[in-house]
Amino acid sequence: MLSTTRGARRIGVLVLLCAVGLAPAGTGVAVPPPPPNPSDAELQAGKADAQRTAGQAGELANRLAEAESRLVGLQSQVEVKMEDANKARVDLQRAEAAYGQARTAADAAAAEARSAAGRIEAQRHRLDEFAASSYRQGSKLGSITAYAGARDPQEMLERASLLDAISDSQLDVLDDLERARIEKVNKDSLTRAALDEAEAKRRSADEARATAEAAQQTAIQARAQQAAQAQGLQADRDSVQAELDAARSRVTGLQAQRADYQEWQEDKAREEQAAAEAAAAAQPAANDDDQAGSSAPAVSGDVETVVSRALSQLGMPYAWGGGNSRGPTRGIRDGGVADSYGDYAKTGFDCSGLMIYAFAGAGVSLDHYSGYQAQSGKRVPLSQMRRGDMLFWDDGGAIHHVALYLGNGKMVEAPYSGSRVRVTSVRYGGITPYAVRVL
């Protein structure tokens, strides 16, 4: 645009000079020497180099996207393993608490058994002393010393009854204590069995905890390795992207030189024509040139409106299912990757939603599906794509992404979950061989 303006200024000055007779007709004083004119072979070689580098950049971008997808999956596995480890630790705490309760109960039962055994031994000792001082007479257990000093037969009979009662009572106490001892021993045995079971559960829970924590660490290491791989791919892609930018810059420079040379040729031809016309008539006829190209501003303005609206959303979060003709909207659930990034809780655009908003500024209504958007206009070869065209990517013939071409190898897009609307270089890996022109 600037070079055309410079050429027009040079022609205007030349015509004015010729009109007033200050420049002789047919001279080339208003046109500088010719600029460099790169050959077609140089231009083709530059384009081939850029195309090759673009293929590498696209391949790395695809590999990076796959690595990031695997990273998301590994993150989910890490979270599952972390929860497994948490469960194992809780189970171990419960098992240890149950083991502690079982041990307390076993200790109490053992104490009760020891106390009962002590009471039984003391009672037996008393009975042994009683038996040693007694002997059997007609009835039950008796003692000579117990009858000594009786004043009459009646008192002797009362003492004999008392000895019988004492003997029966002592034997009953002995039986009761023995039963109690047996019950305590049985209870202690059951309690110890429960203690053994609790100990087994505690050991099992501890082994499960160790296994779960080891699995958690394995998952974390796998994710860290994947993250390192993704970072390496990112660095490789950035390096190749820099090479691509440099290659495209070289091509752009060669094309600019070719354009400057062609402009020089046009300027020289116009100078010669203007000088001849100035020599023949005093009034130059430039109205036709002034009106040339005046029929395009409407379309150009629509394209710029679309581009402007898309660029106005730079930095807006990606939200799957988000975006309409009025602007960003809340995303929706997809039951997978988008949900893992919380897209349903974000306000923003997905790739086709950004196109809907951009083209709505030019009065064009698009469906919220990149596959239908690929059918919404005229398909043109990528070699003929221009500012305002839509670019598409497919996988096995299925369209899965759309972006808006800005010119000079750049595009604006809403790339993927976890990212934001951005301007980036066109990725040629997986791109369809055509652009779609709506305006």
DSSP class of residue 386 equals -
Do 206 and 315 reside in the same domain of the chain?
A: no
Residue 210 shares a structural domain with residue 329: no
Cβ atoms of 370 and 416 closer than 8 Å = no
Residue 317 and residue 178 share a domain:
no
Q: Are 187 and 325 part of one and the same domain?
A: no
Domain C-terminal end among 209, 225, 241: 225
Domain boundary, last residue among 164, 191, 225: 225
Which run of H or E residues covers position 398?
strand 398-407
DSSP assigned state of 402 = E
Q: Can you give the CATH number for the domain in which 314 is found?
A: 3.90.1720.10
Q: Give the total number of structural domains in the chain.
A: 2
Contact 219, 78 (CB under 8 A): yes
Residue 195 located in a structural domain? yes
The answer to whether residue 272 is domain-embedded is no
Q: Residue 33 domain-assigned?
A: no
Of 167, 172, 169, give the one whose Cα is nearest residue 146.
167
Structural domain includes residue 204? yes
The span from the CA of 297 to the CA of 300, in Å, is 5
Do 306 and 211 reside in the same domain of the chain? Answer: no
In this structure, what CATH number is given to the domain that contains residue 216?
Answer: 1.10.287
Q: Which two three-digit tokens encode residue 1?
A: 């645009």
Q: At which of 181, 210, 225 does a domain end?
A: 225
Sequence-distant (≥ 6) Cβ neighbours of residue 18 within 8 angstroms: 25, 274, 275, 278, 279
Write out the catalytic residue numbers.
Answer: 351, 401, 413
- Do 181 and 320 fall within a single domain? no
Answer whether residue 169 is part of any domain: yes
Query: Do residue 194 and residue 304 come from a single domain?
Result: no
Q: Say yes or no: 192 and 308 in one domain.
A: no
Residue range(s) defining the domain that contains residue 397: 298-439
**Residue 230 to residue 417: CA distance in whole angstroms:** 16
Same domain, 82 and 207: yes
Same domain, 321 and 203: no
> Can you give the pLDDT of all 439 residues of the chain as single tens digits?
444 444 444 444 343 333 333 344 444 445 577 788 888 888 889 889 898 999 988 988 889 898 888 888 888 888 888 788 888 889 989 998 988 988 898 888 778 778 877 877 887 777 677 666 654 544 444 455 555 666 777 777 776 776 666 666 666 666 776 787 788 788 778 888 888 998 999 899 999 999 988 998 998 999 899 999 889 989 998 999 999 899 899 889 988 988 888 787 677 667 766 665 665 565 444 344 433 333 333 345 799 999 999 999 999 999 999 999 999 999 999 999 899 999 999 999 999 999 999 999 999 999 999 999 999 999 999 999 999 999 999 999 999 999 999 999 999 999 999 999 999 999 999 999 999 999 9
